[in-house]
Structure 1
Amino acid sequence: MNKKLLLSIAFTILISSLGFSQKIKLKKGKVLVDGKEILNYEKRGLGTELILYSLDSKDEIVNMFQENSGTHSYLDDDYKKMFFTKDEIWVESSRVSNRGWKYMIKLLLENNVLDNEGNINSKNLKKFAKKYDENITNRTVRF
């Protein structure tokens, strides 16, 4: 009885998480969320930088970088840096350093920073920055 109940609960959680997840694709310079184009993008620096642009213009919305802190072979000090152009907010986080660009876009969507139309919500961006920003650049000593 307990095994059946546990299995049904696990199955329900799995199905519900798959049902509410958004499918994100980066294809031919377009960001697609559930098949709908919401932003343009450009990769630079051999894939270490991703720039998101609005669909209707070439206005830069978010610039994301993969930083290696000058240590190419040592990965424990890597982090991602995001600059939100309109609000002039920087977010630096080591918690997402090993994640890909699709994950970063999904994270912005899940935190309602980015909506399904490609707009940035400034209020939610400030919450996101408080939640994820580790202020790595200002607290790092370089020799």
Structure 2
Amino acid sequence: MTIPRLLAFFILMISCNLYFSQDVTIKDDKVLLNGKQILKTEKISLAQYSFFSMKNDDEILLYKYMDNETPSYVSDDYFILNFLTEKVKVESKDLGKVSNFMNSRKGMEKIIRWLLKERVINQDGELNPDRLAIFKEKYDENLTSRTLR
């Protein structure tokens, strides 16, 4: 590829990424999507967050970070996304999807962007049960049932 074609391709990729990206921020216990509040949130601890529906204040999602009782050994760590109203739990070791260098608020923003991208949560903050089932099939590693205690 010549340099102008490579540059044009690079600019096209960046513009597509910016076009499809959504501005998700968490501020004052509110989840904002492009400035509009779609969910309420509560930070329980550094390793736990709850997300609530705007319609009826139901807790729809509980995020937990599990260190498997081995804080100094991170290779066995995982996270749980518990969709409480749908009674669906997703456990995964893919910490790249949620971690953001110990900044839990930024990590939660990353989770909401991920759920929006996968269409598990729509633009109004409502869960889509059909997309949630697909999300579970794609990402759930079912770690608890495979762990001996």
Query: Normalising TM by the smaller chain, what interval?
Result: over 0.9
Whole-Å separation in 2 of the counterparts to 1:60 and 1:2 = 53
Provide the rounded CA distance (Å) in 2 between the counterparts of 1:51 and 1:135.
Answer: 21
Identity of aligned residues (%): 35
Stretches of structure 1 lacking an aligned partner (at least 5 in a row)? none
Matches within 5 A, 1:36-55: 36-45=36-45, 47-55=46-54
The alignment status of 1:133 with 2:135, answered yes or no, reads no
* Aligned-residue offset at 1:48: 0.8
Question: Corresponding residue for 2:15?
Answer: 15
Q: Counterpart of 2:68 in 1: which secondary structure?
A: coil
Give the TM-score of the pair, scaled to structure 1. 0.94
What is the one-letter code of the residue matched to 2:119? N
Structure 2 CA distance for aligned equivalents of residues 3 and 10 of structure 1 = 10
Q: What is the aligned-residue RMSD (CA, Å)?
A: 1.3
Report Cα offsets for 1:11-65 as digits up to 9, x if no partner.
11011101210011010010001111000000112x2111000123321011110
Letter of the 1:122 partner, please give it: P
Runs of 4+ in 1 over 4 A off after TM superposition: none
- TM-score between both structures, scaled by the size of structure 2: 0.90
2-structure distance, mates of 1:134, 1:65 = 15
Q: Which residue of 1 aligns with 2:84?
A: 85
**Who is 1:63 aligned against?**
62
> What's the offset of the Cα at 1:96?
3.0
CA distance in 1, matches of 2:118, 2:135: 7
SS at match of 2:74: coil
Unaligned runs of 5+ in 2: 100-106
Which one is further off, 71-80 or 93-102? 93-102
